[in-house]
Amino acid sequence: MTPVLYRVRSRRPDRVDTVTLTLEPVRGDCPPFLPGQFTMLYAPGVGEIPVSISGRSRSGGYAQTIRAVGAVSAALCGKRPGEVVGVRGPYGHGWGVPAAAGLDVVVAAGGLGIAPLRPVVRALLAARDRYGRISVIAGARSPATLVYPRELARWARQGADVQVIVDHPDHAWHGPVGLVTRLIDRIVFEPRRTHAFVCGPEAMMRATAEELVRRGVAPGRVELSLERNMKCAVVRCGHCQFGPLFVCEDGPVLRYDQAGPMLAVAEL
């Protein structure tokens, strides 16, 4: 339960209220991680929150993308290069990337949900010929809150079909408007031979998973990453209970055939 100290190596603001930090251990090595795993990030004296790992930095540290929504996330977003934070983890089950081999892949992200999916897309594109069509669909509240815009463009150049939609367009926006599910019409995939990775607000994940399954994707081939309150991340504090599961250990990534019936229960 005691964090290890990491130093902020770089800090890159991603638009309005979101920051990507790269972190390196003050001493020792940075443990490996699987796409979809998270760390508990500690802002000294303020608090600790779970944050997905959004990538491995060039120097070997973790990249973590944080949106300032509360006291702890705001404190973490304010950390400058050279300052220290505490890190525990990585924790949890990551995405089943190997299960997608040989199939079409749909990566669907809502808002900051793109962060835990970034290592998935990077892994897919690093072995491009191992997969069928790769589609990345991403939604944002507004063009200004879309994270990783340059990286999305790079993924398109590397062979993914990348589509972006916003809820609230500004005058410069010429793309589609609405919810992520609308983009499912714009991508090409063979439902029975498709694996999907979905992350975003729970309503977005449910709607996206339902739509993919309605089109014929097997519920066991749709993976979601859940968000729950967490204090310990090691199955002791009780906060992240989701029916019979603990999201910290049994998740955060769950298959839709497993999570779907429980997501349908309000306030579970």
Partner 1 sequence: MDAVVIESLEPLIAELRSRGFAVVGPVVRDGAIRFEEIASAGRLPRGVTDDQDPGRYRLRETGDEMIFSFAASPDSAKRYTQPPRQVLFRMRGERIEEAEEEAPRIALLGVRACDLAAIGVQDRVFLGGRHPDPAYRLRREALLLIAVNCAVPGGTCFCVSMGTGPRVTAGHDLALTELAAPHRFLVEIGSERGEEIVRALPYAPAPARDLADAEEVSRTAAGRMGRHVETEGIQERLSAHDSPRWQQVGARCLTCANCTMVCPTCFCTTVEDSTSLADGTAERAERWDSCFTLGFSEVNGTPVRSSNPGRYRQWLTHKFSTWIDQFGMSGCVGCGRCITWCPVGIDVTEELANLP
Residues that bind partner 1 (CB under 8 A): 1-3, 5, 26, 42, 44-48, 69-70, 84, 86, 227-229, 231-232, 234-239, 241, 243-246, 249, 265-268
- Residue 119 Ramachandran class (φ > 0 left, ψ -120 to 50 alpha, else beta): alpha
CB of 34 to partner 1, least distance (A): 16
Contact (CB, 8 A) for 156 and 134: no
For the record, the structure tokens of 52 come out as: 């997905």
Minimum Å gap between C-beta 5 and partner 1 is: 6
Q: How far is the CB of 202 from partner 1 (least distance, A)?
A: 9
Tell me which residue has tokens 């003050």: 26
* C-beta of 60 vs 261, nearer to partner 1: 261
CB of 246 to partner 1, least distance (A): 7
User: For residues 148 and 246, which CB has a smaller minimum distance to partner 1 in the complex?
Assistant: 246
Burial letters for 104-127: b for 16+ Cβ neighbours within 10 Å, e otherwise? Answer: bbbbbbbbbbbbbbbbbbbbbbee
Minimum gap (Å) between residue 108 Cβ and partner 1? 20
Would residue 129 be called left, alpha or beta, if left means φ above 0 and alpha means ψ between -120 and 50 degrees? alpha
Q: How far apart are CA 249 and CA 235, in angstroms?
A: 7
At residue 207's C-alpha, the angle toward residues 204 and 212, to 5°, is 120
CB of 188 to partner 1, least distance (A): 34
Q: Which CB, 228 or 255, lies closer to partner 1?
A: 228
With respect to partner 1, which residue has the nearer C-beta, 130 or 231? 231
Q: Are 143 and 173 in contact (CB under 8 A)?
A: yes
Q: Which is nearer to partner 1, 68 or 144 (CB)?
A: 68
From CA 222, how far away is CA 141, in angstroms rounded?
A: 24
6 versus 62: smaller Cβ distance to partner 1: 6
**Nearest Cα residue to 247 out of 266, 265, 261, 226:** 226
Q: Which is nearer to partner 1, 144 or 245 (CB)?
A: 245
- Nearer of residues 96 and 111 to partner 1, judged by Cβ: 111
Provide, rounded to whole angstroms, the least separation between the CB of residue 44 and partner 1: 5
225 vs 51: CA distance, rounded Å? 12
DSSP string, 175-196: S-BS-GGGGGGGS---GGGEEE
Shortest Cβ 37–partner 1 spacing (Å): 15
Q: Which of 162, 157, 154, 99 is nearest to 131 (CA)?
A: 99
